Amino acid sequence: MSRISQRNQVIVSGSNDGRKVLYIMHKAFRIRNNYTLFQAYEYAKKHECELFIILIEPYESNERNLEFFYQFSDDLIDKLGDFSDHVSLVKRDESLEEHINDVHTIFIDKSYLKFDIDILKTLKDMAYDQDMILIEVEVNVFVPVVVASDKEEYAARTIRPKINHQLDDFEHEVLTDASISKAEEEAMDQLQLFIDERLEHYDDHNDPSLDLTSGLSPYLKYGFISPVTIYHKVQPIDSQQKEDFIEELIVRRELAYNFVYYNKGYDDFESMTEKWAYQTMKKHLEDQREYLYTKEDYLKFNTHDPYFNAAMMEMVFLGKMHSYMRMYWCKKIIEWSKTYRQAYDIALSLNNHYFYDGLTPNSYTGVAWCFGKHDRAWTERDIFGKLRYMNDKGLKRKFNIEDYVEQMKQVKEDNQ
């Protein structure tokens, strides 16, 4: 099956006599298994057109995250010289208009979030005005979102069979013999380290005192590596841990893409979760809160909870946090805020600013999950109502949480 479908194309006649094919790279900053680059390159050859490539700076509010991206950009531009003699990088706030001239067809990485869809809307207007063809290609998911499902899915259990049934249709690879960039090499090294040293212990990857996560989320965010590449690397391994990792890599991750694609209010408190969750939050809005903290308190690590403070240190100084601690962290913000809306706004803003993998479908979905999205109603209790509750007893029971606290104190000391 193709990663280009009727739903992913803007159909314009393309009757102008432009001699350029333009690839707008803004979500998949890589070469191997870059399906948009492959389609654009092959299309340009077929139609005897010249290929131009424009990289658009990622949308970020944190300079540290942009620095992570920019350390690889020059090398990527150099490697893309194997495909085009015309490769350039455009800042996020620069106009694209001067680059769109004498163009017959534009290829662009598929957009999901609003700040990327804005780019697509601009290009649609240009394509219409100049009679160009504009084609989106699904490049950063395994199974294209609209192929996997035609609706917003309720939970992982409802989308899992739909995705797993179609893995064979989309496992093909492209550009596997091309030279890859330093970002891709680093991502592949990280993947190999995970396979060699951590995969067999993946059942403990939620333990914040251990370093057993894949470490791949920042590379996936910028499209430095494809989930198809990762899948092929781990697929030959015979272990339950591999299956659990693939569940996270494909099913859980693509459930998040399904959410932001079909729910246009994915970033709005009023529409990001389920009806039952809103009902229970409304019922418990006036419940007494023992502690109330502000965003500034969190950033100063100034709460009574040493585990939450440690999680904030990991977020602020390292730009990451183990999955279980992310859930605990957000649940505590719910517990310590005057309103659920305030809690949502604080959690989302911290999440998207400080995490290297913020501003992704996964980050919006992860916060929404703490407010009931993709979850079920639990036993009712104060403040949380029927939302899932988490406390420090779970941390103490499951992990060596004191080790984690000491590790993060050292991180803080090293960074101040």
DSSP secondary structure, 130-196, as one string: HT-EEEEE--SSSS-HHHH-SS--SSHHHHHHHHHTTGGGG----STTSPPPHHHHHHHHHHHHHHH
Domain boundary among 137, 153, 184: 137
Same domain? For 281 and 246 the reply is no
Do the domain assignments include residue 171?
yes
Q: What is the pLDDT of residue 12?
A: 46
Q: What is the pLDDT of residue 212?
A: 86
Same domain? For 299 and 225 the reply is no
Q: What is the pLDDT of residue 136?
A: 94
Do the domain assignments include residue 243?
yes
Residues in CB range of 46: below 8 A, 6 or more apart: none
Number of structural domains in the chain = 3
Q: Give the number of other Cβ atoms within 10 Å of residue 28's Cβ.
A: 22
- What band does 234 get if pLDDT is binned at 50, 70 and 90? very high
Mean pLDDT along residues 254-259: 98
Mean pLDDT along residues 273-298: 98
Do the domain assignments include residue 268?
no
Question: Which CATH number belongs to the domain containing residue 405 in this structure?
Answer: 1.10.579.10
Q: What is the pLDDT of residue 252?
A: 97
* Residue indicated by tokens 């007494």: 288
Same domain? For 124 and 235 the reply is no
Contacts 24+ apart (CB under 8 A), 366-371: 366/256, 366/326, 366/327, 366/330, 367/330, 368/259, 368/266, 368/272, 368/273, 369/327, 370/327, 370/330, 370/331, 370/334, 371/272, 371/273, 371/277, 371/281, 371/334, 371/340, 371/344
318 DSSP assignment:
I
Mean of the per-residue pLDDT values for the chain? 93
Mean pLDDT along residues 79-99: 93
Same domain? For 199 and 79 the reply is no
Domain boundary among 262, 297, 317: 262
- What band does 96 get if pLDDT is binned at 50, 70 and 90? confident
Do the domain assignments include residue 327?
yes
The pTM for the full model equals 0.95
CA separation for the pair 29, 55 (Å, rounded): 8
Same domain? For 322 and 227 the reply is no
Q: What is the pLDDT of residue 17?
A: 66
Mean pLDDT along residues 101-113: 92
Same domain? For 173 and 124 the reply is no
User: With 60 as the cut, is the pLDDT of residue 334 above it?
Assistant: yes
Same domain? For 150 and 233 the reply is yes
- What band does 130 get if pLDDT is binned at 50, 70 and 90? confident
Mean pLDDT along residues 139-168: 96
Do the domain assignments include residue 270?
no
Q: What is the pLDDT of residue 15?
A: 54
- Whether residue 77 contacts residue 179, with contact meaning beta carbons closer than 8 Å, is answered with no
Mean pLDDT along residues 85-100: 91
Do the domain assignments include residue 19?
yes
pLDDT 10s digits, 186-227: 999 999 999 999 999 998 888 898 888 999 999 999 999 999
Do the domain assignments include residue 267?
no
Which of 28-42, 81-95, 96-110 bottoms out in mean pLDDT, i.e. has the lowest? 96-110
Domain that holds residue 171: 145-262
Same domain? For 240 and 345 the reply is no
Percent of the chain scoring above 90 in pLDDT: 85
Question: Which CATH number belongs to the domain containing residue 61 in this structure?
Answer: 3.40.50.620
Same domain? For 230 and 292 the reply is no
Same domain? For 244 and 311 the reply is no
Mean pLDDT along residues 324-337: 97
Do the domain assignments include residue 44?
yes
Same domain? For 405 and 330 the reply is yes
Q: What is the pLDDT of residue 382?
A: 97
CA separation for the pair 169, 165 (Å, rounded): 9
Same domain? For 60 and 87 the reply is yes
Question: Which CATH number belongs to the domain containing residue 166 in this structure?
Answer: 1.25.40.80
Domain boundary among 94, 118, 137: 137
